[in-house]
């Protein structure tokens, strides 16, 4: 087994996705499965579709193109404002895109006319987190612009919270989005607007008795893959938190002092060392580092502590038990560590389980590296 390795359990991902889809359906909310964390890998994308997600969303057009080439049949949504330089590609591969810039929408219209297609436009509204979004006072003008352009169609409104500044979804900001959706709803009741209230950070609000209003869609990635809500990273009842784990190999294990000695200057990444003196410890090194993942986002097994990391080394305190060189240590990950590891060509990826509980386990499969994916698209 080559390490570092992400072991991805499709059965657990299927369970998490289908559970969330069912719970949200009872609230009148559909799920867009977010595929960016795993580069649009068909094994996971198809698992999400079988679990009942209504569409697939990604922030990179390259991943959407890859899923199209993999034969995945689903509504594809670009969930980041398109680059002006990529509008032709967006129209060619995405059914719908999230937008904030009128110049980009004009370019999408031109590309859609040229391609003989109609492209869906969902306008993102700024509601306080200060990432992307049109200011509420400018939404009506933006809608009119979309409606006047050929080959693009106004499909709905959305917002994004908790990503840049941690602004939480609540009844106030969700009611503001609902009010806008009500105001600009089409007179044709068969053409219901998509009102995408946010991401995994919205789950506390939804399941905590929030006033749903017109919100009818959420974009979920972290909650499905890691089984946690995105505000406090607490486990979601009934979901697996270990659907994906990072396996690493121990390359050194020795008894060493816990406190460095000598003249102390800056380290490669973390400034000057300020480790507490714990005497001698069972120190171990795992063959994984900052080039592979975010060490601060790794959760070790009980009895093991992550001390620090360099580019290629993860320093551990094994505490009571000395680790054996060549043995494997498995970590759970937060979303940042998962995103970094999943998109690193230095981390192998294998699939176990089946997307349907009870089916035979398939042979381990290898997820293409980012380099292989990008090469296949050129």
At 291-326, the pLDDT tens digits run 999 999 999 999 999 999 999 999 999 999 899 999
User: In the chain, which residues fall in CATH 3.20.20.10?
Assistant: 10-226
Percent of the chain topping pLDDT 90 = 84
> CATH number for the 10-226 domain, one of 3.20.20.10, 3.30.1360.10, 1.10.10.1100, 3.40.50.300?
3.20.20.10
Which pLDDT value is given to residue 35? 98
What phi, psi does 78 have (nearest 5°)?
-85, 115
- Least confident residue range of 89-98, 177-186, 189-198: 189-198
Which pLDDT value is given to residue 133? 98
What phi, psi does 90 have (nearest 5°)?
-65, -45
pLDDT band at 191 (very low <50, low <70, confident <90, very high): confident
> CATH number for the 244-372 domain, one of 2.40.37, 3.10.50, 1.10.3210, 1.25.40?
2.40.37
Please state the rounded mean pLDDT for residues 59-86: 98
User: In the chain, which residues fall in CATH 2.40.37?
Assistant: 244-372
Alpha carbons 318 and 281: distance in angstroms, whole number: 8
How many CB atoms are closer than 10 A to CB 335? Answer: 19
- Point out the catalytic residue in the list 12, 36, 256, 259: 36
Please state the rounded mean pLDDT for residues 66-73: 97
pTM of the predicted model, to two decimals? 0.90
Residue 363 has pLDDT above 80, yes or no: no
How are beta strands 280-286 and 244-257 bridged, if at all? antiparallel
Helix pair angle (10-25, 42-50), 10° resolution? 40
Residue 342 has pLDDT above 50, yes or no: yes
Which pLDDT value is given to residue 277? 84
Which pLDDT value is given to residue 271? 58
In terms of C-beta density within 10 A (0-12 exposed, 13-18 middle, 19 or more buried), how is residue 375 classed?
exposed
Which pLDDT value is given to residue 359? 33
Q: What is the per-residue pLDDT across 218-273, written as a single tens digit (0 to 9) for each?
A: 999 999 999 999 999 999 999 999 999 999 999 999 999 988 888 888 877 765 55
- 36 is annotated as an active-site residue: yes
Alpha carbons 111 and 116: distance in angstroms, whole number: 8
Residue 143 has pLDDT above 60, yes or no: yes
Residue 367 has pLDDT above 50, yes or no: no
Give strand pairing partners of 220. Answer: 33
Residue 369 has pLDDT above 70, yes or no: no
Q: What is the per-residue pLDDT across 279-289, written as a single tens digit (0 to 9) for each?
A: 899 999 999 99
pLDDT band at 190 (very low <50, low <70, confident <90, very high): low
Instruction: Give the residue from 159, 41, 50, 54 showing the smallest Cα distance to 98.
Output: 159
pLDDT band at 189 (very low <50, low <70, confident <90, very high): low
């Amino acid at each position: 087994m080559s390490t570092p390795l992400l072991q991805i359990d499709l059965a657990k991902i299927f369970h998490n996705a289908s559970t969330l889809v069912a719970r949200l359906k009872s609230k009148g909310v559909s799920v867009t499965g977010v595929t960016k964390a795993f580069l649009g890998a068909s094994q996971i994308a198809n698992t999400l579709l079988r679990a009942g997600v209504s569409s697939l969303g990604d922030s990179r057009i390259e991943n959407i193109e890859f899923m199209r080439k993999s034969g995945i049949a689903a509504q594809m949504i670009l969930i980041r404002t398109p680059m002006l330089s990529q509008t032709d590609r967006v129209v060619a591969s995405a059914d719908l895109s999230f937008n904030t810039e009128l110049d980009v929408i004009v370019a999408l219209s031109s590309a859609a006319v040229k391609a003989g297609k109609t492209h869906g436009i969902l306008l993102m509204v700024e509601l306080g987190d200060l990432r992307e979004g049109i200011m509420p006072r400018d939404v009506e003008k933006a809608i009119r612009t979309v409606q006047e352009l050929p080959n693009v169609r106004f499909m709905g409104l959305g917002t994004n919270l908790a990503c840049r500044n941690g602004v939480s979804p609540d009844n106030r900001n969700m009611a503001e989005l609902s009010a806008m959706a009500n105001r600009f709803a089409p007179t044709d009741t068969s053409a219901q607007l998509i009102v995408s209230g946010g991401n995994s950070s919205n789950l506390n609000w939804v399941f905590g008795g929030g006033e749903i209003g017109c919100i009818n869609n959420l974009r979920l990635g972290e909650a499905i893959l890691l089984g946690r809500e995105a505000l406090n990273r607490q486990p979601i009842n009934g979901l697996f938190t270990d659907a994906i784990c990072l396996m690493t190999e121990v390359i050194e294990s020795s008894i060493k002092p816990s406190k460095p000695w000598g003249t102390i200057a800056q380290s490669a990444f973390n400034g000057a060392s300020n480790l507490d003196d714990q005497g001698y410890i069972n120190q171990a090194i795992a063959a994984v580092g900052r080039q592979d993942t975010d060490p601060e986002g790794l959760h070790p097994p009980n009895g093991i502590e992550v001390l620090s990391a360099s580019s290629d080394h993860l320093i551990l305190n094994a505490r009571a038990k000395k680790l054996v060189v060549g043995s494997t240590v498995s970590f759970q990950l937060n979303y940042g560590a998962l995103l970094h590891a999943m998109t690193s060509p230095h981390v192998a990826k294998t699939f176990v389980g089946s997307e349907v509980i009870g089916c035979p386990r398939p042979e381990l499969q290898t997820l293409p590296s980012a380099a292989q994916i990008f090469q296949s698209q050129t």
